A and B are shown apart, each in its own frame.
Chain A
Amino acid sequence: MIQDLLGIPPQALFGQLLLGLINGSFYALLSLGLAVIFGMLHVINFAHGALYMVGAFVAWLLMIHLGIGYWPALLIAPLVVAAFGVLIERTMLVRIAKMDPLYGLLLTFGLALVIEGVFRHFYGVSGQPYPPPPSLQGGTNLGFMFLPTYRAWVVVASLVVCLGTWYAIERTKLGSYLRAATEKPQLVQAMGINVPALVTLTFAAAVALAGFAGVLAAPMYQVNPLMGSNLIIVVFAVVVIGGMGSILGAVITGFGLGIVEGLTKVFYPEAANIVIFVVMAIVLLVKPQGLFGKA
């Protein structure tokens, strides 16, 4: 039997750490997408949280109406969100492409209101339950804690997707187009690459990540129209803390802050809601450009 650490039973400590890691998974997946979008489109996508919610809802609707389960949903829902992203980018974001990024923030803010409002109108504010797939139910007793299988899966799946995204951007040909177009879009287009299509693809892929996160979240939390809006503000803080210059930076910051939040829940639960904002304030004081930001 492991001794209580600092008077905290290990069950509680590791349980909260795991929850922290899970929140961190969502922070990482979402801030990663925000960073990629910002690099290419110079837009901070306020609707990212709403699209995360859409991902969860698509999974739930697939289950309710078509009897399609978790595993197919994990693929279909991100694709649906990506298609929606293509629509958003082609009809709206292209029109403000050369303007001050603040317009992008305002536009996607309006979009977030619309998306959330529509879902709230049809599905109310009470959450809808979504069961984890049978293969991921139950858990393992590790001795010092009970590890629910689904939670372990969420952490592993997000890590894999985050690292996969990093690999795709930093190590593949398509990724080199993306990096180059982030720097000098006109020159990349003058090499014969269809940059507008690349921009659309980037946006679609990044919001698909949000949709994927939404499906992962569905069995953890209830599927709720408002699940994205509070999350996105925390993710903004994560982005301010990490800076948007580095993919791995976004991932590390996301997971790290999730853990910080989890630990705060153990040691000082009253502050758990605000600890990330406090960290942001400290980072602004000490290193205003963010931990991984370029000065």
Chain B
Amino acid sequence: MATETQTPVAAPAPSGGVGQRAWLFVSLIALVLLALAPFVIYPVFLMKALCFALFACAFNLLIGYVGLLSFGHAAFFGGAAYVTAHAAKVWLLPPELAILLGTLFAGVCGAAVGALAIRRQGIYFAMTTLALSQMLFFVFLQAPFTGGEDGIQGVPRGHLFGLLDLNDPYAMYFTVLAIFVGGFWFIHRIVHSPFGQVLKAIRENEQRATSLGYDVSRYKLMAFILSATLAGLAGSTKALVFQLATLTDVQWQMSGEVVLMTLLGGIGTTTGPVIGAFLVVMLQNYLATTALPATVVIGIVFIICVLVFRRGIMGEIGHLLRWKL
């Protein structure tokens, strides 16, 4: 049948783009703002937003640059949080090792889920990731170490590298900021590497990439593992920030939230997921102070995004300015 298909990834952006130097300038300003922000805004809010921003960027690596919609990223985010929390609280590992373990765990889960899910495409891929992450949810629900409905509470933040006391909010904030910037930069490098070029080629036309001799499955799997690992890094960090790991972070609703953040900010844009994450976290914080049912509002935002705002904020701006953002 002759349906015109429109893939939910940013259309190939008009060439040209913003100059290298302008980018550097904007990045520096953003960095300075983020460095000053905790003195004006609640650090906890900022840290939460930064963790979700990294989570959304990791998710975007998959949908934005490979065209794969994972509906199961909560498993990596929340799973890593559990492992980090357990490592820090029960094994008394220092924060850097706890985060490392959580992140590694997410990577391993990503390898398993990814290897299964990439055997199907499109809509089936999305359903498969959702189903597998639900399986992991039940595993976490029943595993003895996760504390069931209560989760793991009172996770010690500890001293980073034995030196920096993370109980100090600013120390914690700058650690989170460093992790976010590192993750963001890493994703940026992946996207602009030869590996990233192949991913984009797969997104544009999978058959063609195959016929050019690329092992498409391997590339997809690699991208999936990288994305899951970075989502895990975000979840691990969040566990230390809130000193808590709960079922909320492994639930399917969380997988939906990261989709929304990315969609709202702009799928396939560099900065969109960050903006989307900040907006959604702000919206949730605001909704928590009102009587409005949060899921209804989030659902409505979702519907509006799909019906009239598919490019997302940064995608729209980029489209208007004909820039690649």
Contacts and interface: CB of A to CB of B under 8 A. Distances in A.
A110 B1 contact: no
Nearest to A293: B124
Q: Interface residue tally of chain B, by bracket?
A: 35 or more
Contacts of A184: 1
A102 B123 contact: yes
Contact of B126 (A97, A99, A102, A284): A102
B17 interface: no
Interface string A206-250: 000000000000000000000001100110110110000000000
A92 interface: yes
Interface stretch (A5-13, A14-22, A155-163, A270-278): A270-278
A102 B297 CA distance: 21
Nearest to A34: B127
Interface stretch (A72-80, A117-125, A132-140, A146-154): A117-125
A285 B259 CA distance: 27
B306 A240 contact: no
B119 interface: yes
Contacts of A175: none
Contacts of A199: none
B302 A270 contact: no
A4 interface: no
A236 B303 contact: no
A178 interface: no
Contact of A240 (B4, B127, B303): B127
Contact of B3 (A98, A116, A118, A183): A98
B142 A273 contact: yes
A16 B142 CA distance: 21
A114 B304 CA distance: 12
Interface stretch (B50-58, B133-141, B232-240): B133-141
Contact of B299 (A102, A110, A183): A110
Contacts of B1: 183-186
Contacts, number: 144
B131 A112 contact: no
B66 to A, nearest CB: 13
B46 interface: no
A149 B237 CA distance: 53
A48 interface: no
B130 A110 contact: no
A245 to B, nearest CB: 12
B300 interface: yes
Contacts of B299: 110-115, 117
A105 B126 contact: yes
A109 B116 CA distance: 23
A103 B63 CA distance: 12
B5 A240 contact: no
B6 A98 contact: yes
Nearest to A91: B307
B202 interface: no
B323 interface: no
**Which of B127, B132, B296 has most A Cβ within 10 Å?**
B127
Contacts of A44: 123, 126-127
A101 interface: yes
Interface string B137-161: 0110110000000000000000000
B127 A236 contact: yes
A107 interface: yes
Contacts of B296: 113-114, 117-118, 121
B131 A233 contact: yes
Nearest to A275: B135
Contacts of A120: 293, 295
B122 interface: yes
Contacts of A284: 116-117, 119-120, 128
A234 B296 CA distance: 23
Contacts of B120: 240, 284, 288-289
Given A113-B256, A117-B294, A42 B3 contact: yes
Contacts of A117: 293-299
Nearest to B134: A233
A100 B131 contact: no
A21 B138 CA distance: 22
A239 to B, nearest CB: 7
Interface in B302-319: 302-303, 305-307, 310
Contacts of A234: 131, 134
B7 interface: yes
B69 interface: yes
A114 B6 CA distance: 26
20 contacts: A44-B126, A44-B127, A92-B307, A102-B122, A105-B69, A106-B302, A106-B305, A107-B307, A110-B299, A111-B303, A114-B296, A115-B299, A118-B296, A183-B1, A237-B127, A240-B120, A274-B138, A277-B135, A281-B132, A285-B116
4 smallest beta-carbon distances between A and B, as pairs:
A110-B302, A113-B299, A117-B295, A277-B135
Given A100-B6, A113-B295, A285-B116, 19 more contacts: A44-B123, A92-B307, A97-B3, A99-B5, A102-B8, A103-B6, A105-B69, A106-B8, A110-B299, A110-B305, A110-B306, A117-B294, A118-B293, A120-B293, A233-B134, A236-B130, A278-B135, A280-B128, A284-B128
